[in-house]
Amino acid sequence: MKITFQDGSSREFEQGLSILEIADKISVSLRKKAIAGILNEKEVDLSTVVVDDATLRILTEEDPESIEILRHSAAHLMAQAVKSLYPQARFGVGPVIEEGFYYDIDLGEDVLTESDLPKIEKAMAKLAEANLPIVRQVRSKAEALVFFQQDAYKVELISDLPDGETITTYTQGDFTDLCRGPHLPSTKWIKNVKLLSLAGAYWRGDSKNKQLTRVYGTAFFKAEELKNHLEVLEERKKRDHRKLGKELDLFMLSEYGPGFPFWLPNGMIVRRELENFWYKVHLKEGYKLIQTPIMLNKELWLVSGHWENYRDNMYTSKIDEQEFAIKPMNCPGGMLVYKRDIHSYKDFPLKVGELGLVHRHEASGALNGLFRVRNFTQDDAHIFMTEDMIVEEVANLVKLFEYIYSVFNLSYHIELSTRPLEKYIGKIETWDRAEKALADALTSLGKSYVLNPGDGAFYGPKLDFKLRDSMNRIWQCGTIQLDMNLPERFDLTYVAQDGEKKRPVMLHRAIFGSIERFIGILIEHYAGAFPVWLSPVQVKLIPVNTEIHMEACDRLFKKFQDEGIRVEVDRRDEKLGYKIRDAQTKKIPYQIVIGDEEASSDLVTYRKYGEKDQVKVSSREFIDMVLSQIKNLQ
C-alpha cells in the first residue's frame, strides 16, 4: 500500500501495519516520539491499522494537535485516580477545553474540596509512572450498555446513540471509559498535570438534573510549559475584573440585585467613552440609530418565536390584564420599526443600530461579575437587504469588526455555527442557502473559519468572533447572524425593482456583544490600566506641598479641564511618596508632581504609569501629547 506523508513524499508499505509499526519502519526515534496519527485527515490512535493507500501524519508532542490528545488522556487518568480513591464514583463527561480539561463526577455521599486535589494528583502520578497501555476497544451498543450497566450516566449517553453506531471504549489498567478517542499510547506521557479548581455542574446542563462535581485541570508535555501556564493563571487572578472593579471604583454588585450591576462614576466614564466611540463609528458607516421599548406584549414574542424557544429566560409581567415580557433581545422591536414604513430596494442596505438594554434570567450559580449578568446592553444592529447583497455586506461587517477589535489590540478567529438539530424555525433549504452565503463572504475576504455544527441561533446561522486577550484567553463577543426567517414571520417586505413586493434578508450583528461583558474583558485585558482615551482619570496633579503649591495645581487643573482632559488634584495632606504610589495603584496614565520649579514656570514634570522615568516639558507640549493620544484612541 502507498502512504503519502505531510511533506508530499510517499512510500510503499505492506498492508495491515499499524501506525506505530509504520513509524518504526521509518525510524526508531520516530517510533519512540510518536503519540498518535492523522490518517486521511482524521485523528486516530497509534494502534490503528492501515489497510489501503492513505495520507498520514505521525504526531509527536511538537505538533499542535497533540496537546488536546494529551489533555483528553489526562482527563481519563484523573477519572481513574478518582475511581481508585472513591470507588463509588460515577462519571459524566470529560472533554478537552481551551487550555485544559474537566470531568463531571458523581461522588455519591462524598464531597470533594480543593484540599483533595493534591491527593488526586498524587494518585495520577503513580498511574502515570506505571506506564499503563491505553487500549481501544470497539463494542456494539448492546455490549456497551451491559458493560456500563452500573453507571447511569454512561447508560444514558449510550442510549441516546443511534442503533448500529460504532461505540469505542478505552481501558488503562483496571479503568475503562466510554470515549471516541484518540488517546496517547500509554499513561507515561501524562507527567505534567495540575488540577486547578472545582465547580458544580448540572448533568447535561439541565438544572432539573443532579448537580455533579466538575474538576478542572490542565496538562502539558513539558514541565516548563506547565510552570509558565500556572504563572499566567496567577497573573489572571490579579487581573480579576471583580477585584479591579472594586479597587478602581468602576462598578459594584449588591445582594439586592443579583446579576444587576451598579455603575460607579469611574465606570460610567469608561462606559460612555465606549458608547461614544460606538456611535461615532456607526454613524460614519451609515447606520440609523433607534431605541425600542424594554417591555413589549406577549403577542410580539409569539410572532418572533422567542416565547416558544426562549420563554424560560424571559421576565414577564401583567399590564391591564395582558401578559408582557421584558425583552431578552432587541430584534422584535427592530422588526416593528422596519414595518412602520414602506421600503424600496433603493433603501438597501438599510442599517439600523441600537444600544438596547435587555434582560435574561440566568441561574444564580452562573452569575459572574460583569461576565454573566441578568441585564446588559447589546450593541445591536439589524441590516436589511436583498439576498444578492449578503456576501458583500457580511464582508463589510467583518472589516468593521476587524477595525474595532484592533483599537483594543484584540486578535480573533471566526466560527461558523450552523442549524441546530432541534428548536429551529424555517425551512432547511433556507438554512442551507444562508450558511453558504456566510461561508462565501469569508472566502471572498480570504478569512479562515472553524465550523461549529448545530450551534446556530434558532432563527439562523451565525459567525461568532472569538477574541484573544493579553492573557491568551478566548472570549465570545461579536456575532453576525443571517436571518431569512424573522422577515417571514413578521411579514416584512420591500418594493423590488420590478415593482413587486418581496421579502428582505436580515443580518443581526453585535460587535461588543454586551457592553458590560466587554468592559469586564477590557479591565482584565488591560489589567485595569486603560489607554488614555478610556481612562476615567487621565492626569493626576500632585502638589509637593499642599500649602505652597496648590495654587499652581489649580491653574493647571483649569487649563487641562478647558482642553477636555479628565484631571484630578490630590488635595490630601499626605506624604508625597504616598500620593505617587496611590496614583500608581489607581493606574492613572499620567501623574504630574508640582514643586517650586513647576509653580514658577510653564514646565510640567510627568511620569507615565508603569514607567520610572520623569519627563519635563512645557504644559502646552504635554496637553498636545495627551490630546493626540485621545484623538488616536491610544
CB 366, CB 428: distance < 8 Å:
no
Q: Name the burial class of residue 357, with classes exposed (0-12), middle (13-18) and buried (19+) by CB atoms within 10 angstroms of its CB.
A: middle
pLDDT of 488 higher than 80? yes
Residues in CB range of 105: below 8 A, 6 or more apart: 79, 82, 89, 90, 91, 92, 112, 212, 213, 214, 215
| Per-residue model confidence as pLDDT tens digits over 543-554 | 998 888 999 999
- Whether residue 251 is contained in a domain is answered as no
Q: Once rounded to an integer, what is the mean pLDDT over residues 170-191?
A: 94
In this predicted structure, what is the pLDDT of residue 281?
97
- Whether residue 247 is contained in a domain is answered as no
In this predicted structure, what is the pLDDT of residue 432?
87
What's the sign of the alpha-carbon dihedral 613, 559, 270, 585?
Answer: positive
Q: Once rounded to an integer, what is the mean pLDDT over residues 603-631?
A: 94
CB atoms within 10 A of CB 299: 12
| Per-residue model confidence as pLDDT tens digits over 128-171 | 999 999 999 999 998 999 999 988 999 999 998 888 888 999 99
Beta bridge partners of 420: none
Nearest to 368 by CA among 480, 459, 277, 253: 253
**Cell numbers found for residue 254:** 449588591
In a shared domain, residues 618 and 492: no
Q: Once rounded to an integer, what is the mean pLDDT over residues 205-224?
A: 92
N-term to C-term CA, the chain: 60
CB 438, CB 461: distance < 8 Å:
yes
CATH classification at residue 548: 3.40.50.800
**Cell numbers found for residue 149:** 450497566
CB 393, CB 349: distance < 8 Å:
yes
| Residue after which a domain boundary falls, among 502, 525, 548 | 525
Angle between helices 428-445 and 390-407 (to 10 degrees): 60
Residues in CB range of 35: below 8 A, 6 or more apart: 46, 59, 60, 61, 66, 69, 70, 184, 185, 189
Q: Which of 4-13, 221-230, 527-536 has the lowest mean pLDDT?
A: 4-13
CATH classification at residue 132: 3.30.980.10
Distances (CA, A) of 171 to 67, 138, 167, 629: 20, 11, 13, 60
In this predicted structure, what is the pLDDT of residue 12?
86
| Per-residue model confidence as pLDDT tens digits over 573-598 | 889 889 999 999 999 999 999 999 88
Distance CA 97, CA 380 (A): 29
| Per-residue model confidence as pLDDT tens digits over 377-407 | 999 999 999 988 988 999 999 999 999 999 9
In this predicted structure, what is the pLDDT of residue 110?
87
In a shared domain, residues 548 and 517: no
In a shared domain, residues 493 and 543: no
- Whether residue 298 is contained in a domain is answered as no
**Cell numbers found for residue 624:** 498636545
- Whether residue 238 is contained in a domain is answered as no
Query: Which residue type sits at 129?
Result: E
Distance CA 298, CA 438 (A): 32
Distance CA 130, CA 334 (A): 62
Q: Which of 50-64, 379-393, 424-438, 610-624 has the lowest mean pLDDT?
A: 424-438
CB atoms within 10 A of CB 198: 18
pLDDT of 207 higher than 90? no
**Cell numbers found for residue 577:** 511618596
In a shared domain, residues 219 and 288: no
- Whether residue 357 is contained in a domain is answered as yes
| Average pLDDT of the chain, as a whole number | 92
In this predicted structure, what is the pLDDT of residue 106?
94
Cis peptide, bond prior to residue 182, ω within 30 of zero: yes
DSSP per residue, 138-180 = EE-HHHHHHHTTT-HHHHHHHHTSPTT--EEEEEETTEEEE--
CB 352, CB 338: distance < 8 Å:
yes
Nearest to 565 by CA among 604, 527, 528: 604
pLDDT of 465 higher than 80? yes
CA dihedral of residues 350, 356, 359, 364 (deg, nearest 10): 110
Distance CA 120, CA 197 (A): 12
Beta bridge partners of 58: 37
In this predicted structure, what is the pLDDT of residue 519?
97
DSSP per residue, 80-129 = HHHHHH-TT-EE----EETTEEEEEEE-TT----GGGHHHHHHHHHHHHH
In this predicted structure, what is the pLDDT of residue 170?
95
Distance CA 377, CA 260 (A): 12
pLDDT of 485 higher than 90? no
Q: Which amino acids are annotated catalytic?
A: 331, 360, 378, 380, 382, 462, 508
Distance CA 628, CA 137 (A): 66
In this predicted structure, what is the pLDDT of residue 61?
92
- Whether residue 406 is contained in a domain is answered as yes
In a shared domain, residues 42 and 106: no
CATH classification at residue 41: 3.10.20.30
| Per-residue model confidence as pLDDT tens digits over 24-45 | 889 899 999 999 999 998 999 9
In a shared domain, residues 393 and 345: yes
Give percent of the chain with pLDDT exceeding 70.
100
Which H or E run contains 156?
helix 152-159
Number of structural domains the chain divides into: 4
Q: Once rounded to an integer, what is the mean pLDDT over residues 444-457?
A: 87
What's the sign of the alpha-carbon dihedral 124, 125, 128, 132?
Answer: negative
* 435: DSSP letter: H
Confidence of residue 453 (pLDDT cuts 50, 70, 90): confident
Q: What angle do CA 48, 50, 55 make, to 5 degrees?
A: 105
In a shared domain, residues 367 and 437: yes
In this predicted structure, what is the pLDDT of residue 624?
96
Confidence of residue 53 (pLDDT cuts 50, 70, 90): confident
What's the sign of the alpha-carbon dihedral 9, 14, 15, 19?
Answer: negative
Residue located via cell numbers 510549559: 225
- Whether residue 252 is contained in a domain is answered as no
Distance CA 626, CA 631 (A): 9
In a shared domain, residues 512 and 568: no
Query: Which residue type sits at 29?
Result: S
In a shared domain, residues 510 and 558: no
In a shared domain, residues 225 and 370: no
Between 459 and 248, residue with greater pLDDT: 248
Give percent of the chain with pLDDT exceeding 90.
72
Confidence of residue 512 (pLDDT cuts 50, 70, 90): very high
CB atoms within 10 A of CB 54: 17
In a shared domain, residues 503 and 548: no
**Cell numbers found for residue 600:** 514658577
Distance CA 66, CA 59 (A): 7
| Residue after which a domain boundary falls, among 59, 85, 103 | 59
CB 326, CB 294: distance < 8 Å:
yes
Q: Once rounded to an integer, what is the mean pLDDT over residues 82-95?
A: 93
**Structural domain of residue 16, as residue ranges?**
2-59
Q: Taking the CA of residue 281 as centre, how many other CA atoms within 13 Å lie in the half-sphere pointing to its CB?
A: 20
In this predicted structure, what is the pLDDT of residue 208?
84
Confidence of residue 494 (pLDDT cuts 50, 70, 90): very high
Which H or E run contains 332?
helix 331-339
Beta bridge partners of 571: none
- Whether residue 90 is contained in a domain is answered as yes
What's the sign of the alpha-carbon dihedral 121, 127, 131, 136?
Answer: negative
**Contacts by 162-165 with C-beta closer than 8 Å and gap 24+?**
165/141
In a shared domain, residues 450 and 560: no
CB 49, CB 3: distance < 8 Å:
no
| Residue after which a domain boundary falls, among 463, 493, 525 | 525
Distance CA 507, CA 219 (A): 41
CB 168, CB 138: distance < 8 Å:
yes
For 509, list phi and psi in degrees, rounded to 5.
-155, 145
**Cell numbers found for residue 275:** 458608547
* 408: DSSP letter: T
